[in-house]
């Protein structure tokens, strides 16, 4: 009887889904189509798959509660696991999206297994898709967006930048891909298999083979540590991939003696028995990235969530939601909140690792503000630059409201960040050929109308999880402070500063100037396969001696995200594909013999090489800081950031554009001048990204071009005309 009732219910449901809506007054029987047996069968399969997924989510939620209850998952931010969780902290909104994605993915996998029909076949059937979208509707992201095409300023969350596709580049949307994922099950299981079908070598074993010769570290001749620091700051502006959290926001442990390594959130890294650093340990904790529900509501492979906007829009300073932005403002004269010494305001006590009673955790537009002092210093620099400009604009236009002053200042800060990135930073990473080919060159004139509404700025997975992590090999072993005479007077081993704000808070923030001086003076290490022990063995070191390996995490993250192998990216970039480990035609033509030999030692087949390991060990393109594979991915992504941004700072599209006089002022500014204007720095070289030399000498800050704000002066009538009823 139960089966009969269920079958009858399914028939009614599928009839409702597939029957066309009848016009008023039409015959009750006219146009009604009875479902076929196949349609009824498929509806039942989908219903069963969704019920299975809902049950799996409930069971997993219960397991998380049990793990927290028994102390497997903890909220100890001082532990290495806790610090990693802090670095990739999931937002409450992300938690809801995680549930939607989990159920959709589990239902997709169950449906594929029970129907013996591939997802691609299901996606190509209009009937099946209609039933799927109707039944799975509750677990789709149903965010509704209404755009104002006349808005003068970009939104906080990135929505409506593209008026035809309002969610493009928006926070809390799926990361995009240049190439489809290669999951083990083609849906969401991490890539673990070799070309031969064998299990891939451990990410830590590859790290031990490829990245450990720190005695062979090479110093870059021309570039300062600011190249690494700015890359990190911009990375955090365009990508934030959160990790799964346990119950009550706890850090998930996949390596605890009582933990279950088969938990869907876990993908631990095997530590070899002969590991030179991690003695008597077999497992390195690794928690998978949070999945994102599909906006299309289609059955699809797992995509990772991006919690921040995919625009270079200073979300590191202002946040990626209207609520977050307001929480960082004074709501008076356009200024941002600060504490003593121009430092960021205090955040939650457990959002960093405090060592003394007077210390506090910073709160900024990005949660990762506390991770290392050099990153905190860059945040502090732009918070202060915002307030410096806002103060002057408020005096210049005393009739402006707080909102107008804030938005105009924010617009200038975003323009400065875009200008510095494309004028000063990118040319140090890529070479002239790549800059020219992908349209990334600095335009010395006024306007440069580049906006293309068909370009999606969305941050690509391969850029976030591999290519733009190239700077990890440039991370220095210390965090240092330089006095005015450019002699180091304070330095700390990097592992002693992770998530600890003491260095930036000492002496009411006076160390920030010294940190910036150090970043713009000290030569950086080369971007290559060699990593400092502070990141390869001692990442997020805790008092119990637990820590992580950053390059191993990068390799494992690529597998977690279903990242295609190195050779597939070579083909996509129109580069020669390797068929052997030889350094000759048909082999690893962009590697030197030593690196090619190490790759052969680490991998059994060239088609097994992970993107990160293969590309980070390539020889650099001429006059660039990366090899050809990473150069290809990085250039294409920055092309999207520029050409897909309707509010790009050089745009001629009025009234959102700068005036010619305003744009002329912005294009004069360098990062060095911003440092001079906000801290007691008297001398600095014009280019902070290039080491001091006869062609880039230390110079008096007063000689550097100044941002003159007179072009922003408005009459009351001009302001009323521009802002209308909003003024």
> Residues comprising the binding site for heme b?
472
500, 355 Cβ separation under 8 angstroms: yes
- Pick from 470, 437, 524: nearest CA to 211: 470
| Residue 633 DSSP SS3 | helix
Length in residues, the chain: 727
Sequence-distant (6+) residues with CB within 8 A of 88 are 240, 241, 242, 243, 289
Nearest to 671 by CA among 428, 431, 416: 416
Cis peptide before 655 (omega within 30 of 0): yes
Tokens of residue 316, six digits: 């590191």
Q: Are 459 and 637 in contact (CB under 8 A)?
A: yes
Residue given tokens 């082999």 in the structure block: 587
3-state secondary structure of 514: helix
CB 363 within 8 A of CB 369: yes
DSSP 455-501: -----BHHHHHTGGGGGGGG--SEEEEE-TTS-EEEEEEGGGTTT--
- Whether residue 204 contacts residue 556, with contact meaning beta carbons closer than 8 Å, is answered with no
Among residues 214, 223, 236, 399, the one annotated as catalytic is: 236
CB 621, CB 434: distance < 8 Å: yes
End-to-end CA distance of the chain: give it in Å, rounded: 68
Q: Contact at 8 Å (CB) between 41 and 116?
A: no
**Dihedral of alpha carbons 469, 474, 479, 483, sign:** negative
- 3-class SS of residue 704: coil
CA distance 469 to 292: 22
Buried b (16+ CB within 10 A) or exposed e, 120-151: eebeeeeebeebbbbbbeebbbeeeeeeeeee
Is residue 355 within 8 A of residue 502, CB to CB? The reply is: yes
Residues 422, 436 contacting (CB under 8 angstroms): no
DSSP 302-359: --BEE-S-SSSS-HHHH-SSHHHHHHTB-SSTTPBP--GGGPPPB--TTSS---STT-
Residue 295: burial class (beta carbons within 10 Å; 0-12, 13-18, 19+)? middle
Alpha carbon separation from 111 to 38, 39, 182, 454 (Å, rounded): 14, 14, 19, 34
Distance CA 718, CA 457 (A): 33
Cα–Cα dist 219/526, whole Å: 5
Q: Cα dist. 409→326, 339, 388, 394, 647 in Å?
A: 15, 20, 9, 10, 15
236 is catalytic: yes
Residue carrying the six token digits 């209609």: 130
Quote the DSSP letter at residue 423.
Answer: I
Contact status, residue 224 vs residue 474, Cβ threshold 8 Å? no
Copy the structure tokens of residue 498. 């992770």
Active site residues: 236
């Amino acid at each position: 009887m139960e089966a009969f009732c269920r079958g009858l219910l399914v028939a009614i449901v599928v009839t409702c889904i597939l029957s066309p809506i009848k016009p008023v007054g039409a015959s009750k029987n006219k146009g009604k189509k009875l479902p076929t047996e196949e349609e009824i069968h498929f509806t039942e399969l989908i219903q069963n798959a969704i019920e299975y997924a809902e049950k799996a989510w409930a069971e997993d939620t219960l397991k998380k509660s049990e793990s927290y209850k028994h102390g497997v998952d903890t909220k100890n931010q001082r532990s290495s696991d806790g610090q990693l969780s802090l670095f990739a902290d999931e937002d409450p909104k992300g938690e809801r999206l995680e549930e939607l994605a989990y159920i959709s993915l589990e239902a997709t996998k169950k449906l594929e297994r029970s129907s013996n029909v591939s997802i691609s076949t299901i996606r190509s059937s209009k009937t099946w898709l209609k039933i799927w979208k109707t039944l799975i509707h509750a677990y789709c992201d149903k965010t509704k967006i209404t755009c104002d095409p006349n808005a003068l300023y970009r939104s906080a969350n990135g929505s409506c930048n593209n008026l035809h596709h309002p969610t493009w580049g928006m926070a809390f949307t799926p990361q995009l891909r240049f190439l489809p994922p290669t999951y083990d099950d083609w849906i969401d299981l991490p890539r673990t298999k070799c070309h031969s079908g064998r299990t891939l070598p451990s990410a830590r074993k590859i790290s031990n083979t490829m990245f450990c010769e720190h005695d062979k570290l090479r110093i870059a001749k021309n570039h300062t540590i600011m190249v690494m620091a700015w890359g990190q700051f911009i990375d955090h502006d365009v990508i934030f991939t959160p990790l799964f959290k346990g119950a009550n926001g706890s850090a998930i442990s996949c390596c605890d003696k009582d933990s279950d390594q088969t938990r869907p959130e876990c993908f631990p890294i095997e530590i070899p028995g002969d590991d030179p650093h991690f003695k008597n340990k077999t497992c390195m904790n690794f928690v998978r990235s949070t999945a994102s529900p599909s906006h299309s509501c289609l059955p699809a492979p797992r995509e990772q969530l991006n919690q921040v906007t995919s625009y270079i829009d200073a979300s590191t300073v202002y946040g990626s939601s209207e609520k977050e932005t307001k929480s960082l403002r004074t709501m008076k004269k356009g200024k941002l909140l600060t504490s003593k010494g121009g430092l960021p305001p205090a955040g939650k006590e457990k959002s960093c690792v405090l060592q003394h009673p007077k210390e506090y955790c910073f709160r900024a537009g990005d949660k990762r503000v506390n991770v290392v002092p050099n990153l905190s210093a860059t945040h502090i620099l732009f918070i202060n630059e915002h307030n410096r400009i806002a103060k002057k604009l408020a005096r210049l236009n005393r009739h402006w409201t707080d909102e107008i002053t804030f938005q105009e200042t924010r617009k200038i800060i975003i323009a400065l960040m875009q200008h510095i990135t494309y004028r000063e930073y990118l040319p140090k990473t890529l070479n002239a050929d790549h800059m020219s080919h992908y349209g990334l060159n600095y335009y010395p004139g006024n306007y440069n109308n580049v906006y293309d509404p068909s370009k999606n700025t969305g941050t690509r997975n391969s850029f976030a999880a591999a290519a733009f992590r190239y700077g990890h090999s440039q991370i220095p072993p210390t965090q240092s402070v330089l006095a005015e005479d450019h002699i180091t007077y304070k330095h700390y081993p990097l592992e002693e500063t992770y998530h600890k704000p003491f260095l930036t808070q000492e002496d009411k923030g006076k160390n920030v100037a010294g940190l910036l001086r150090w970043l713009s003076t000290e030569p950086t290490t080369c971007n290559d396969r060699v990593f400092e022990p502070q990141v390869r063995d001692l990442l997020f070191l805790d008092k119990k001696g637990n820590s992580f390996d950053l390059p191993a995490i990068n390799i494992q993250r690529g597998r977690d995200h279903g990242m295609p192998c190195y050779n597939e990216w070579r083909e996509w970039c129109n580069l020669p594909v390797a068929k052997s480990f030889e350094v000759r035609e048909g082999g690893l033509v962009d590697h030197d013999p030593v690196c090619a030999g190490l790759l052969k030692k680490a991998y059994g087949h060239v088609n097994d090489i992970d993107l990160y390991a293969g590309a980070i060990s390539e020889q650099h393109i001429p006059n660039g800081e990366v090899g050809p594979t990473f150069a290809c991915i990085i250039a294409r992504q920055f092309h999207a950031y520029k050409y897909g941004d309707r509010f790009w700072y050089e745009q001629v599209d009025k009234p959102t554009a700068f005036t010619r006089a305003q744009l002329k002022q912005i294009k004069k500014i360098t990062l060095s001048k911003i440092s001079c204007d906000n801290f007691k720095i008297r001398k600095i070289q014009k280019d902070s990204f290039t080491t001091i030399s006869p062609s880039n000498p230390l110079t008096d800050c007063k000689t550097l071009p100044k941002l003159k704000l007179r072009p922003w002066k408005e009459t009351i009538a001009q302001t009323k005309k521009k802002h209308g009823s909003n003024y």
